[in-house]
Every structure is written in C-alpha cells, then in structure tokens.
Amino acid sequence: MEYKDYYKILGVAKDADEKAIKRAYRQLARQYHPDKNPENDAAEEKFKEINEAYEVLGTSENRAKYDQLGSNYHRFRQTGGNPGDFDFSQWFNQAGQGGGFQQANINFGDMFGGGNGGFSDFFSTIFGNTGGRAGQSQQDMFRRSSTNPSGINLDTNQTVEISLEEAYSGTTRRFRRNGTEFTATIPAGAKNGTKVRLRGKGNEGAYGTGDLFLVIEVQPHHLFKRAGNNLQVDVKVDVVTAVLGGKVKVPTLDGSVSLSISAGTQGGQTIRLRGKGMPNLRDVTKFGDLMAQIRIQTPTQLTEDERRLYEQLAELPQIYA
C-alpha cells in the first residue's frame, strides 16, 4: 500500500503551523472544487486527496498520530525495508510496535454521506472505516460532499437595498468578508427577490467556503410604481389641455419625454409609452412599457379674468350627457 505524504499534497513544510496548513488547504480546495471544474475527473480526484490530507493534518491529534507513523515508516525505509513490506494495519493494531496508536474518531457519514467517501486505502487503514450505505456509490457520496462535506450550510444570504434608478441601470456594492474587500455587480433589471450569487464569498468552514447570495430589495419610488418590467406614473394634465389637446412632459427613468394629449382626454385614461419601462433582467436590450395615467388638475385659485371666462362657459348650452 502506498504511503501518503499529506504535507506534500498540501504543499506545506512538516513544521508548518495550523494557520499555514489551513490557508494552503483553502487555496487548493477553491482551485480544485468540482463547481469550478465540472466533469473534470482529475480535479475531482485532487479535491478528494486535498480533503483527505486536511482531515489528517487539520487536527492536532490526527496530525500527531500521522507524524508518529511517518517516523516509523521512514525509519523502516532507511534500514533497507521494502516499502511494499511495511504492514500499516499491523503497526496500528498492535500496541507496543506502533506505540499504542489508536484509531481516530472520524465520522465519515457526516463528511461524505457514508462509506469512505473516496478516501484512499491508506487513510482507511489508518483511521478506520465505518462502512458505506447499501446501494450508495463513492461517486454519489463525493458529489454530496463537494457541495457540503461537513453537513453545515456554508452559503449565506444578505439583503441589499437598491433604488429603482439603480435597478434600471444596474449598480455595484462594496463588501468586506473573510478579511477581503470585493465589488459585487447588481445587474440592470433586478427586482425584489432577485438573487445575485457570488461564488466563494460565503461562510468559511473546514472544507472550504460557501457562496454569498445577495437578495435584492428595490425601494419604493416617489413617482413610479413597478409591475414586472412595466412602470406606472401619474401625469398631471390641466383642464384646458385635456379639453383642447396639447403636449405634456412625462418623467421616465431615462429623462422626460413629450406626450401628445388628444382633445377630450378623460381623467383616469392610461396611455402606453412602449419601451420606457424597466429592462429585462435576462435581456437588457428589451424593456417594459411605461403606463402614463392621466390625472386632470382642476384649478383651485382663479384670477378675475379666468373666473369670468369659466362663467361664460357655464352659460353655454350643456352638451354633456
């Protein structure tokens, strides 16, 4: 059976401290994680090997026992022993020869859903094997572990409030997590409940780092109401323009536009301005519409001349049904 040099696998010196080992493991785990290397068998095997090495070197008890084994193995080699003749299982199982080495307390079920999770024979011989579940392959066990090997959800959500203007054009936010600063891009068209996934920016654990999900909340706007990708806005129209027709300015998120009002326009009438709504989250070249709802403004203060004209109007025959 092949002796596994876990220090070499993690790329650390034999006298490396706990922080150095953990740092090396995290870098390698991120590099070879299956999410970043889909359908890559070599990366998958490397990821397993890295986890195996850290399972041993990442705890002081396991590391001390492994170092004790290493000393005996290398002494055996130096005295001319054939590597293939070294009986690892006998060394551990017989007190005195192995210095009373005890089986490590490792819960494979929690780590890899049962079985040895694809760990090497070397690891299983040293630290024991709890046995796999019936009908469950090592591939299945590994796929479960690569997402959440420790049984702890490392992903985390964070609510991010943005304005409607930011949702229209897209925006960024600065964050600081796990000792590093980074900028997150929030795409144009984001709406309430939109999730932006930032891989590797979640909580840190012994087996890697989860993902950070930004959950978007678009704040209410003082002018516009949103319905999907459409917007609604009230447009104030004076009585004369509503009666005779004319033009009014309509606010949009891309600047004001001129809207033609037909003679006889009624209060509550809605006029659709195509393409003046919100961008489509999945295709920002497409936009919703702006629904302009007419609100006729009745004057509350009249000059003497204005009052006289309205009185003259009132004296005309009523033509309204």
Mean pLDDT of all residues in 256-264? 94
Q: Among 50-54, 130-134, 160-164, 189-193, which is the least confidently predicted range?
A: 130-134
Helix (H) or strand (E) holding 167: helix 164-169
At the topology level, CATH places domain 6-147 in Helix Hairpins (1.10.287)
* Residue 104, pLDDT above cutoff 70: no
Nearest CA among 96, 95, 98 for reference residue 86: 98
Taking only the tens place, the pLDDT of each residue in 59-82 is 887 788 778 776 665 665 555 555
- Which 3 state secondary structure label does DSSP give 302? coil
Mean pLDDT of all residues in 299-313? 88
Q: Would you say the pTM of this structure is higher than 0.95?
A: no
Distance CA 221, CA 307 (A): 37
CATH 2.60.260.20 fits 156-218, yes or no: yes
- Reading the block at residue 244, the tokens are 């005779």
What is the model's pLDDT at position 91? Answer: 45
* Residue 246, pLDDT above cutoff 50: yes
CATH 3.20.80.10 fits 225-311, yes or no: no
Would you tell me how many other CB atoms lie within 10 Å of the CB of residue 42?
Answer: 9
**Sequence ranges of the chain with CATH classification 1.10.287.110:** 6-147
**Sequence ranges of the chain with CATH classification 2.60.260.20:** 156-218, 225-311
Would you tell me how many other CB atoms lie within 10 Å of the CB of residue 5?
Answer: 11
- Which 3 state secondary structure label does DSSP give 64? helix
Nearest CA among 252, 240, 175, 186 for reference residue 216: 186
